[in-house]
Structure 1
Amino acid sequence: MCPSRALYRDIGICPSNSKDDDESMESGTDFSDESDDICSPELDKTTGNDDSSSDSEETGLSDENGGIDDQPARVDKPADAGKTYYIDDFMNCLKTTFKACRGDSSFQCIDEQMTKFKGRSSFKQYMPLKPEKRGIKMWLRCDSLTGYTYDMSIYCGKEGSVLEGTLGERGVNGLAATISNLDVTLCFDRFFTTVNLINNIQYPALRTCMSNRKNVPKIPEKLQRGEAIFKVNSAGTIAVKWQDVKEVMLLSNCHTSEMSTVRRKMKDGTEAEFPCPDIVKTHRAIVGGVDLGDQMSGLYDINRKSNKWWKKVFYRGMMMAAVNTWVISSAQI
């Protein structure tokens, strides 16, 4: 075969393999003219190089009169839109789906979670005690035992108008407003805990609290390990100070002053039993649901580098959906 024959076959112009074509190619008598198949419309359609369509039609920049228009302007968010405008629809979709796929469990906890983000944002937070020190702070309501996420909200920074209650109270009330089952016991971080919140929330609630918070009873007595002091206010909220290795202060609207025991490991390696209020044992059993969900979300991270904060929240939301799916499927096995 003529070498030029192989070259034409390689570029797709002469696909035929017949002997007659080989002979005609060698004799040099079968060259195509300008009207043959090399430039035929059928070949152009196959390769996508139809000359009848202009470059402007391919790029979509031509107007109805055949002229070239400028590229469409970028659609910015409305002037009255909130800071979470770009992610609101996605978050609402997740919250609606999470609530519909699983009923409220009996024990739930509310805590904060950090989504890693090092770019620029007006509501980026710095929390040195968190594993992710810089990022977007979210408040979550999760199942205490499985880490299933029921509801979430993004903290957008300082609010301009003067609102009722503390920031923690508004965060807890906002997440608790979507609970459909009144028989739910809530446990939340001490950042949220105030006497006013425990007095007025419509659900059973308990949590550790800071002794310097407003209306928290002062208990100056020094206690020995295992000792406890209880105080109750007019609304039925109980405050307990219990001495473990350190002092522990808790508030609850669903407990009494009943005591039980707890085992602790001593310095010499032996174990000993100490008296312990029931509120402490309940707290230890139902705390940590948000941390559990956060841990599972971080096992297979799909995070990608981006300067857009809402993309980071989107990735975290997708991992929450994956964890919730796993929790539901595990319960059905």
Structure 2
Amino acid sequence: MRWFLNYLIARFQALYEVDGKVSVDESMIKFKGRLSFRQYLPMKPTKWGVKVWVMAESSTGYVTNFQVYAGREGSMEKGLAHRVVMDLARPYYGSHLSIYMDNFYTGVNLLEEMKTHGLNACGTVRANRAGLPKNERLRKKASMEKHEFRVAQKGELTFCIWQDTKTVMLLSNHHDPTQTGTVNRRKDRANQVPVVVPASLADYQKYMKGVNLIKWLAIMDSSIDRRNGGGGCFSFSWLCPATMPTLLRGLLEEQPSETSTEATKAGWRTWQSSSSHHSEQGLFL
């Protein structure tokens, strides 16, 4: 089976060039048969199956790399999440590919290492990760008004904290801390309004969706599975968004700037949104 999976990955990468924005996330292949590395994730829509780490193009859901989780692989010095991201990104070293991920993966050490390999990265980050700013105004429990944001920079890393319904913390190794973008938030049941946020957060919301584009196939696969009266048949239907363009192209063609800011003594230089207009560009503290 492994040789076949490696073959698929090689063909996916040879026959299609991603547009520069991808996301990394886990996905579940429904499977209820006997398997030593079958996973049970009670919080997932597909609770029983094979867990797969996936890198997919943000705009199309094209699967450009994946790795089946077959259980713990010994003692990993830098942790499972760190290893997974670096393994998936290895074919793109030096390409300046922008990779978006959630807080299971994101950490200061990971983003710094990715930068040394010519990879851009951005993702939500957990408050207890090592290396984050220690300024009390940048902590998860800091007092902030709704849609207020604060930004800090250390070398090429940009950290932001934004108060939405919940506090959102995000880390990037390639965004300008002074730039902003917009996200839509609900004003009432019928209307949404644009809210100005740091550019890193706006890009995260826009591009952290590649893997989600293929997850709807699990619902379709589940429906087929119920009609067939089983769940013990291993299915590759989640790969369809990647398989179809690859096969079509294979049939038709047989051919294979950064913003730097000097750090302060404490290491992190900080900004925040205007106290009178939370949607304005961040101000120096």
TM-score by length of 1: 0.64
In structure 2, the gaps of 5 or more residues are 253-285
Q: Residue 88 of structure 1 corresponds to which residue in structure 2?
A: 2
Q: Residue 189 of structure 1 corresponds to which residue in structure 2?
A: 102
Q: Residue 167 of structure 2 corresponds to which residue in structure 1?
A: 247
Matches within 5 A, 1:4-19: none
Bigger radius of gyration: 1
Would the alpha carbon gap of residues 100 and 297 (structure 1) be closer, same or farther in structure 2, given more than 3 Å must change?
A: farther
Aligned counterpart in structure 2 of residue 281 of structure 1, from 202, 225, 230 = 202
Q: Comparing both structures, which one devotes a greater share of its residues to strand?
A: 2
Matches within 5 A, 1:83-162: 87-160=1-74, 162=75
Question: Residues 273-312 of structure 1, C-alpha deviation per residue, up to 9 Å, x if partnerless?
Answer: 43311111101111110110232465467767475xxx61
Question: Residues 95-139 of structure 1, C-alpha deviation per residue, up to 9 Å, x if partnerless?
Answer: 111111101321011110111122333322222221101211110
Native 8 Å contact 2:29 2:218 kept in 1: no
Distance 1:319 1:265 in 2: 32
Q: How many residues align?
A: 236
Native 8 Å contact 1:104 1:181 kept in 2: no
1:215 and 2:131 equivalent?
A: yes
TM-score by length of 2: 0.74
Would the alpha carbon gap of residues 104 and 180 (structure 1) be closer, same or farther in structure 2, given more than 3 Å must change?
A: farther
Over aligned residues, Cα RMSD in angstroms?
2.5
Q: What letter corresponds to residue 323 of structure 1 in structure 2?
A: P
Once the 2 structures are TM-superposed, how far is the Cα of residue 166 of structure 1 from its aligned partner?
1.2
Question: Residues 46-81 of structure 1, C-alpha deviation per residue, up to 9 Å, x if partnerless?
Answer: xxxxxxxxxxxxxxxxxxxxxxxxxxxxxxxxxxxx
Q: Residue 231 of structure 1 corresponds to which residue in structure 2?
A: 152
Distance 1:104 1:181 in 2: 14
The percentage of aligned residue pairs carrying the same residue is 30
1:167 and 2:80 equivalent?
A: yes
1:324 and 2:242 equivalent?
A: yes
Once the 2 structures are TM-superposed, how far is the Cα of residue 172 of structure 1 from its aligned partner?
0.3
Greater shift in the superposed pair: 90-99 or 266-275: 266-275
Q: Residue 267 of structure 2 corresponds to which residue in structure 1?
A: none
Would the alpha carbon gap of residues 181 and 199 (structure 1) be closer, same or farther in structure 2, given more than 3 Å must change?
A: closer
Question: Residues 164-191 of structure 1, C-alpha deviation per residue, up to 9 Å, x if partnerless?
Answer: 2111000000000122660311011221
Once the 2 structures are TM-superposed, how far is the Cα of residue 145 of structure 1 from its aligned partner?
0.5
1:176 and 2:89 equivalent?
A: yes
In structure 1, the gaps of 5 or more residues are 1-86
Native 8 Å contact 2:29 2:238 kept in 1: no
Would the alpha carbon gap of residues 116 and 147 (structure 1) be closer, same or farther in structure 2, given more than 3 Å must change?
A: same
Distance 1:190 1:134 in 2: 23
Question: Residues 138-182 of structure 1, C-alpha deviation per residue, up to 9 Å, x if partnerless?
Answer: 10111111011111111111223x232111000000000122660
Q: What letter corresponds to residue 204 of structure 1 in structure 2?
A: N
SS in 2 for 1:248: strand
SS in 2 for 1:245: coil
Q: What letter corresponds to residue 324 of structure 1 in structure 2?
A: A
Native 8 Å contact 2:60 2:241 kept in 1: no
